[in-house]
Amino acid sequence: MPEPLRVPGASPRTLLGYLVGLGLLRIVARQADAGARACWRNGALELHSELDAGDLERFLLERWVPAPVVSPWNGGSGFFPKDNVDAFAAIETDGSQRLDSFRAAITAARAALRKNGLVSRPEPKLAKPALLRELRATLSDAAVEWFDAAIVLVGEGTAFPPVLGSGGNDGRYDIANNYAQAVVYALGLGAHQRAQRERVESLSAALWRTAGPQQKMSLAHLSRDASPVNSPAGESDALGNPWELALAIEGTLLLAAGVGRRLEDGAVAGLVAPFTLRPTGAGYGSAVAGEKGRAELWLPVWDAPATLADIETLFREARIQVGRRPARTGLDAARAAAELGVARGVTAFERLSILERAGLSNLAVPAGRVEVRERPAARALRTLDPWLGRLISHARGDVPHAQREAIEALERASFAVAQRGAPADVRSLLVALGRMEGVLSRAGDGSRPLGLGPIAPPARAWIAALDNRVAEVRLAIGLASVGEARPAVDGRLPALRDYLHGTGFDDRGRRRYEETTPGSVPSRAATVERLSAAHERRHQDAARAGRPELGFDRGVGLGLGDLSTLAGGRADERELGLLVDGLALLDYRGAPAFEVASDTAPVDPLIGILALAFHDPRSAAGSEGGEQPRCRPPIGWVSRLRAGRVREVTADALLRLRLAELPVIAEIDDLQIRGASGPRLAAAMLAQPRRGDVWRAARSATLQPTTPEHQENAT
């Protein structure tokens, strides 16, 4: 067997090139070498067959039997008086056997038109459906392959796989008629009989990307990805290679397989072709806000040689699954690629968006390549089902601009996590989640998606997907996770998310959006201002509820070095605030099981003292069973810190620690922290410090000896 042929003209990076590759495999396997195989490598089709390059060219020029392609249901199809009928006339008058099936399809189409009394383009509501059913019943099996690629009969109606426009036409461009013209050129019929050298050069250009002549013709959206007419000047006559169109249309016939099964899965009627999904306005740089997309094509790429039967099975099954359901959007497909929920053997997808950017015409815009490999970060997206899907569906309707903008940003961030899954992508998605919650909390009930309440997805997958070597990430997790481990005496107290986003609880303990956002935690203030305000509000609420402990009693523990970083103004506070807004939405039940990387920043002595005073780690009962005094912050500490009265609070903390039998060695003048402000200290003390760190601070800063029990707790 000859060496595999690399066919540069069949590139998976464009719709036209991909279809040319499918068409070549289909033609060779059916008409020249039943054992032919093909794969995609290094940006081109690799054809394994008994044909070498010369054999392949001679076969296409001399023996190729074109697929019979007719669309008598369209205007401009070549079957009506005002149409261009030259190509079909040339085919009908040619006597070669290789065009027998094409002539038979033309004859059957004319008979169906006569039977239905049609002399012009059929009226779409009654005449066209009747004609389509007549054609589906009378066309030969070979001709029905094109019918099924272009038209799907759904009950009494019709649907159109977007790769072939609206039933085999793109605006005024009828694909079947132009395919017939390409076949006439490729076979040297009619006016092209003497253009043998030109046809050979055109074929070589189509296959091997050599220099070759271009014809005045359009390849429609199969090639159009920039200029509306795909011409060098942008406004001149469209130029194209007839061989590329002929081979590409042969390739589209593989896309008809398995249509009926996908309809049973509940897919939208128009998106019933293999690997055809609802558009996602994310993941490609040329996306335009508000543009109209018809569909996305996720073209599967495989790097192991496969037979035509293998590829027919691949397109018939078209398996892209998210969990147990089939993918329906581009975001679903990206998630499936990241979770290995695709057909075996597929190594990547070339993604194309079919967009309306040229009036009624469409462009097939390359939207990037998505590799099929496991990306653990994509597991976090599972926790947003079905909430995220309902939000995206909501954005398709008449929604306020702020909501649409937030939902589109959330969709883009979700796609980036599925496509790449880097920690930076996860951070961006959390920021988008926080912004989305802010928009929903400020919206009225009538403008929110019906029945869509606040979410609380499990935090485990999100924390695992973040890079907790970053101080701002650790601080955000620690701050966002603070909440209640048990109900308060008079009901459930808010978690930090409720203070930040204005949510509350109904009579049954379910979280809901409140009509007004609590004014004591401003939504648009700086990060430190918001966190310190939430801390102050928490103390007030806990005191009103009769809680002896004013702070939150649950949270992922932070090292004192990280708290020193926050208090000293060395953290990126804007990034921290954005992350906290998103991370606060997660459910941290079982949070102590999470491993947050240790910080290496130095611990400021004042942070150690305040951590002891705010979060005394000792139990209420001493080792002898008697009562042990315990330091508790009074309700006014946070208010005074926010007012800048740091020295006053420090002096009070030293006194209370001594009364609680934790006499501090340092004097107040030794405990001034450079760069610290009262609000930053109030924000830092909102988090739960790691218990072991607080014990170490007690051992190093006080004269109080630690008991063996304390030593064990500290480790």
In the chain, the percentage of residues whose pLDDT exceeds 90 is 60
In this predicted structure, the answer to whether residue 645 has a pLDDT above a threshold of 50 is: yes
What is the Cα gyration radius of the chain? 34
In the chain, the percentage of residues whose pLDDT exceeds 70 is 86
56-70, 306-320, 368-382, 610-624: least confident range: 610-624
* Average pLDDT for 464-475: 93
Q: Which residues of 230-257 are buried (b: 16+ CB within 10 A; e: fewer)?
A: bbeeeeeebbbbbbbbbbbbbbbbbbbb
Most confident of 380-384, 395-399, 515-519, 705-709: 380-384
In this predicted structure, the answer to whether residue 430 has a pLDDT above a threshold of 70 is: yes
In this predicted structure, the answer to whether residue 658 has a pLDDT above a threshold of 80 is: yes
What 3-state DSSP class applies to 647? helix
Beta strand 44-48 with 5-7 is: antiparallel
Most confident of 251-265, 300-314, 650-664: 300-314
What 3-state DSSP class applies to 362? strand
Can you give the pLDDT at residue 383? Answer: 95
What 3-state DSSP class applies to 221? helix
Can you give the pLDDT at residue 595? Answer: 57
Per-residue pLDDT of 599-619, as tens digits, reads: 678 888 899 999 999 998 886
Can you give the pLDDT at residue 337? Answer: 96
In this predicted structure, the answer to whether residue 590 has a pLDDT above a threshold of 70 is: no
Select from 7, 14, 67 the least CA-distant residue to 251.
Answer: 67
Can you give the pLDDT at residue 518? Answer: 52
* Average pLDDT for 158-175: 89
Q: What's the CA gap between 522 and 535, in Å, rounded?
A: 13
27-41, 288-302, 618-632, 678-692: least confident range: 618-632
Can you give the pLDDT at residue 624? Answer: 47
Per-residue pLDDT of 1-54, as tens digits, reads: 789 999 999 999 999 999 999 999 999 999 999 999 999 999 999 999 999 999
Can you give the pLDDT at residue 60? Answer: 98
* Average pLDDT for 565-587: 96
Can you give the pLDDT at residue 357? Answer: 60
Per-residue pLDDT of 192-221, as tens digits, reads: 877 789 999 999 999 999 998 989 898 888
The count of other CB atoms within 10 Å of the CB of residue 129 is: 17
- Higher pLDDT, residue 498 or 272: 498
Can you give the pLDDT at residue 459? Answer: 93
Q: What's the CA gap between 192 and 190, in Å, rounded?
A: 5
* Average pLDDT for 612-631: 69
* Average pLDDT for 112-139: 94
- Higher pLDDT, residue 519 or 183: 183
pLDDT band at 292 (very low <50, low <70, confident <90, very high): low
Can you give the pLDDT at residue 223? Answer: 81
Q: What's the CA gap between 33 and 59, in Å, rounded?
A: 11
Can you give the pLDDT at residue 662? Answer: 87
Give strand ranges (E) for 134-187: 152-154, 157-159, 169-170, 173-174
Q: What's the CA gap between 314 and 530, in Å, rounded?
A: 54
Can you give the pLDDT at residue 225? Answer: 53
- Higher pLDDT, residue 452 or 709: 452
* Average pLDDT for 328-356: 92
* Average pLDDT for 630-654: 93
Contact in structure between 286 and 269 (CB atoms under 8 Å)? no
272-281, 312-321, 592-601: least confident range: 592-601
420 token code pair: 């790449």
Which bin fits 546, alpha (ψ -120 to 50), beta or left (φ > 0)? left
Per-residue pLDDT of 331-341, as tens digits, reads: 999 999 999 99
